[in-house]
Structure 1
Amino acid sequence: MNQNILFPDIQTWVEERNVIIFPAQQAGKLIECVVSLGKLSEMAGYQIQENEILVEFDALRFDLEELAEKAIENEDFNLVGEVELG
């Protein structure tokens, strides 16, 4: 893992967007990373229910952080500066 990119143990479910947002920090800059419920379900291998979202996110955190790290290194940001993982 690139030690220049840090991932604090913070995540927020945003129901209106059906995404979890989790922060990354690179050289003091805060970057919002976004993973959709669909992507999370795809990675888990089953349709995740709303009451399981944060538990599954925790189970997949390492893989999600790796995906986010690659996207940050490739500067793959959306129009509002987020890293979208699906």
Structure 2
Amino acid sequence: MNQSILFPDLQEWNEELQEIHFPAQVQGANIECRISLARLVKLEGKEVQSQQEALKVFDAYRFDIEDEVEMLIEQEEFDEQGRVVLI
């Protein structure tokens, strides 16, 4: 793991967008990261019915999600707002 990319234990569910938002810290700068409900369902292999379930799935796959986000940050694969988004 690249020690210059840190993932604080902060995440929140966005009901309107149906995704989890979480930060990555890269050399002191915060990068907003997002993962969609559809991506969480794909990881879990079954429907995710509630905010609590979504956060539970996120926690269960956290290291895999962080590895993918880390790779995208290193490749500078940001959206137009400078975020990393897993759809």
TM-score, normalised to structure 2, is: 0.95
1:78 aligns with 79
1:48 aligns with 48
Q: Percent identity?
A: 50
2:69 aligns with 68
Instruction: Calculate the aligned-residue CA RMSD, in Å.
Output: 0.7
Structure 1 residue 5, shift from structure 2 partner: 0.1
Q: Runs in 1 of length 4+ with deviation above 4 angstroms?
A: none
What one-letter code is carried by the residue in structure 2 that aligns with 1:6? L
| Alpha-carbon distance in 1 for matches of 2:49, 2:23 | 23
2:38 aligns with 38
| Alpha-carbon distance in 1 for matches of 2:82, 2:13 | 19
Q: State the number of aligned residues.
A: 86
Structure 1 residue 83, shift from structure 2 partner: 0.1
SS of alignment partner, residue 31 of structure 2: strand
Q: Deviations over 1:32-84 (max 9, x none)?
A: 11000000110111111113111111001000000100010011010111101
| Alpha-carbon distance in 1 for matches of 2:80, 2:72 | 14
SS of alignment partner, residue 73 of structure 2: helix
